Amino acid sequence: MVFPQRMTAEIEGSYVVFLIGMRINRPHKFWKWLPVMGAMPRMMKELTQQKEKGLLHSEVWFGRTVITLQYWRSVEQLMEYATASNSEHLPAWREFNQKVGNSGDVGIWHETYIIHPGNWETVYINMPRFGLAQAGNHVPAAGHKKSASGRLNGKEPVAETP
């Protein structure tokens, strides 16, 4: 459902934005990149079935570089999942290192951002509920939330003087 108005997101406390993905460097070596691509759905299934692990929401974009955007409740929960011996992550990581390693056939990457209250803002116009609004609450961008500065500062925008 598309919301034909200005919307924003609300989320309480700090949270983590985790970007993770893979890049197909040698498309003809599908036997190298296909297993890497198949590992993420297993991890996402595990995380969506076990909400206590801390994943709030994720979205995926496909192309030569596959990008997964994830929102986590805390960096501690993200690190705990990454290192848990009973999670889907460690076997996938070991398999990547054994079968791909430093061959250059498939690249993998991730970036982790810890976001504190007051250090982020969002706006969605003519969009379905998306991104942080899926991880938190989706609310109208009205009042002090009408402008980017208002969403960041929590105050009504200051009128410009001529």
The model's pLDDT over 14-41, given as tens digits with 9 standing for 90+, comes to 999 999 999 999 999 989 888 888 888 9
Model pLDDT, residue 155: 63
Evaluate if residue 154 carries a pLDDT over 90.
no
User: Of 29, 114, 89, 34, which is closest to residue 66 (Cα–Cα)?
Assistant: 34
Say which range, 3-7, 98-102, 157-161, has the weakest mean pLDDT.
157-161
- Do 69 and 103 meet the contact criterion of CB atoms below 8 Å apart? no
DSSP code, position 155: S
The per-residue pLDDT for range 41-90, each reduced to its tens digit, is 999 999 999 999 999 999 999 999 999 999 999 999 999 999 998 998 98
Model pLDDT, residue 83: 93
Evaluate if residue 159 carries a pLDDT over 60.
no
| CA distance readout (Å), 12 to 2, 65, 82, 133, 137 | 24, 32, 24, 12, 9
156 band by pLDDT with thresholds 50, 70 and 90: low
Model pLDDT, residue 158: 52
Model pLDDT, residue 74: 97
State the CB neighbour count (10 A cutoff) for residue 140. 12
The per-residue pLDDT for range 77-128, each reduced to its tens digit, is 999 999 998 998 988 888 888 888 888 999 999 999 999 988 999 999 999 9
Question: For domain 1-162, which architecture applies?
Answer: 2-Layer Sandwich (3.30)
